[in-house]
Chains A and B, each alone.
Chain A
């Protein structure tokens, strides 16, 4: 059973990798866009804001990494909705294959692409002066955490794609989700200056927790002044919050897939 599920997933990951090779725009969007983010935010705003305990440019990098992970929501949603609309989901569901493999194949492919984006961004970040200060091990742990977040966001995207369908509606829903996740977080600003209630909301945002944990692991300035649990223990709390998202969303998406009707 498991062996079959793995081989089915593998076959579908192969399919998505072929897509990347066939659609140059897609390859650009997962490499060029993150690079643009790093360059624009890092160089333009890198000196605009002062953060306690270090350089704003270093502070920004973890936030920029998570933006790319969030883009998995709309990318995965659009892909899933496309398969549903053109009847491929019907075809897959009429085959004696592992059914969860269809979504797992999608989300694992998103993970591969996220890893590619992270690599490119890290190289460009390094070129403009971003450094990690605690060595390779913690830095790799931080990337692992980012990819875990990317995986969670891909599952969220799969769920949205199955429930929402239309590409315009998907873009709108993804925007409505990504905006608060981004701006109610510590991605671009330290939370110290916010009113207490708003700060608590931001601190419990899983994105903030992941960003804080990455900063800690990279040895970049964290500017953590909060008292909420995720601020005091960013690494374990970020892992826990991200896992909660996966544990809630993946079964919902799998169920939505089982009953999804094309058109």
Chain B
């Protein structure tokens, strides 16, 4: 099995709204695909079709070598799904939730128990394991939800916005747990609204908007299109701009752009920290009055601007 997820020309219509307008996706086994897009782009719809929850109007898709419409049972036996909202039973305890899923996965009673205990341990939920999920924090719920999707040791994992709404610590912890699965050879399709998240976790990124994949490539390729990180320098007087441009051009491979009105200069940061240090010392020795000095990261909005020439729907930044 070389290709773990393959979708061709997926279309889905809700009433007279076309949610998907021909989505093509290929994920080689063992890779992580980040599906990046704003609200309403069609991320969840795509995941639901691939996870056998929804039938596409046209197009075909196979997951782990099985057709999602013709062999849903085989597909279900090989996937794990973590939906956009944690799908756990609030009234049951964490342990009961995992055991129930394990039993329904037909692991057998004993194996379901053992697997639940192991996952609770791994996801740092052992202490809360016997409390109703109702009492869990958002991050704990997400972890339990991810644990539930791993009960059957799936070959392919679908994660629909796994960290939306989590604080930084929980997000980092979840990233770590996802990386561990990737390390075990699991193929992952992850949707997100955050470029940074896709950048951190994905081998390739597909940017989706209006029900279509409008760009795809490695994170570096995509960032290349947007321009990647930039160093922004603002100086006190307009007269100093030409000199600043000259020294900054010397520290980076990219060419600086100048915003005359704001007295600002920015350069692409192609080689990261060394260019920042270089720029700082060059400006220091130049003796110009620097009023602002900082790094800006491209946001999803920048990707959009670069790819479509228009602004994406408002998104929260991580």
| Complex CA–CA separation, A106 to B48 (angstroms) | 24
Residue of A nearest to B96 (CB): A18
CB pair A86 B51 closer than 8 Å: no
Q: Which of A93, A96, A261, A262 touches B105 (beta carbons < 8 Å)? A: A96
Residue of B nearest to A4 (CB): B106
B101: interface (CB < 8 Å): yes
B166: interface (CB < 8 Å): no
Q: Which of A7-57 contact B (CB under 8 A)?
A: 7-8, 11-12, 14-15, 18-19, 22-23
Q: Mark A226-263, 1 if CB is under 8 A from B, else 0.
A: 00000000000000000000000000000000000110
* Interchain nearest-CB distance for B110 vs A (Å): 14
Residue of A nearest to B148 (CB): A91
Q: Which of A14, A19, A86, A261 touches B54 (beta carbons < 8 Å)? A: A261
B25: interface (CB < 8 Å): no
CB pair A96 B90 closer than 8 Å: no
CB pair B76 A94 closer than 8 Å: yes
A176: interface (CB < 8 Å): no
A97: interface (CB < 8 Å): yes
Q: Tally of A-B residue pairs with Cβ under 8 A?
A: 73
| Complex CA–CA separation, A94 to B81 (angstroms) | 7
CB pair A91 B91 closer than 8 Å: no
Task: Tally B residues with Cβ within 8 Å of A.
Answer: 30
Query: Across the interface, which residues of A come within 8 angstroms of B76, CB to CB?
Result: 94-96
Query: Across the interface, which residues of A come within 8 angstroms of B77, CB to CB?
Result: 96
CB contact under 8 A between A97 and B87, given known A22-B132, A261-B54: no
Q: Which of A88, A93, A262 touches B89 (beta carbons < 8 Å)? A: A88
Residue of A nearest to B134 (CB): A22
CB pair B85 A8 closer than 8 Å: no
| Complex CA–CA separation, A91 to B141 (angstroms) | 14
CB contact under 8 A between A88 and B91, given known A15-B100, A94-B76, A97-B104: no
CB pair A90 B91 closer than 8 Å: no
Query: Across the interface, which residues of A come within 8 angstroms of B91, CB to CB?
Result: 18-19, 22-23
CB pair B106 A86 closer than 8 Å: no
A183: interface (CB < 8 Å): no
B258: interface (CB < 8 Å): no
CB contact under 8 A between A90 and B81, given known A4-B106, A97-B105, A97-B106: yes
| Complex CA–CA separation, A41 to B91 (angstroms) | 35
Q: Mark B95-113, 1 if CB is under 8 A from A, else 0.
A: 0100011011110000000
CB pair B83 A90 closer than 8 Å: yes
B92: interface (CB < 8 Å): yes
Looking at chain A's contact residues, the main secondary structure is helix
Query: Across the interface, which residues of A come within 8 angstroms of B80, CB to CB?
Result: 94
CB contact under 8 A between A86 and B87, given known A94-B51, A94-B52: yes
Query: Across the interface, which residues of A come within 8 angstroms of B106, CB to CB?
Result: 4, 7, 96-97
* Interchain nearest-CB distance for B161 vs A (Å): 13
Query: Across the interface, which residues of B come within 8 angstroms of A11, CB to CB?
Result: 100, 103-104
CB pair A95 B104 closer than 8 Å: yes
B177: interface (CB < 8 Å): no
A87: interface (CB < 8 Å): yes
Residue of B nearest to A26 (CB): B91
Query: Across the interface, which residues of A come within 8 angstroms of B51, CB to CB?
Result: 94
B13: interface (CB < 8 Å): no
A92: interface (CB < 8 Å): yes
B88: interface (CB < 8 Å): yes
| Complex CA–CA separation, A143 to B22 (angstroms) | 56
Query: Across the interface, which residues of B come within 8 angstroms of A8, CB to CB?
Result: 103-104
Query: Across the interface, which residues of B come within 8 angstroms of A87, CB to CB?
Result: 83, 85-87
CB pair B104 A86 closer than 8 Å: no
CB pair A95 B105 closer than 8 Å: yes
CB pair A93 B87 closer than 8 Å: no
Interface centre among A8, A18, A90, A95 (most CB of B within 10 A): A95
19 A–B contacts from the bound complex (CB under 8 Å): A11-B100, A12-B100, A14-B100, A15-B89, A18-B91, A18-B96, A22-B92, A23-B91, A86-B87, A88-B88, A88-B89, A90-B48, A94-B76, A94-B81, A95-B76, A96-B73, A96-B105, A96-B106, A261-B48
Taking A8-B103, A90-B87 as given, write out 5 further A-B residue pairs in contact, using a Cβ cutoff of 8 Å, ordered by the A residue number: A18-B92, A19-B92, A86-B85, A93-B53, A95-B101
The 5 closest A-B pairs by CB, nearest first: A87-B87, A96-B77, A91-B87, A96-B76, A94-B81
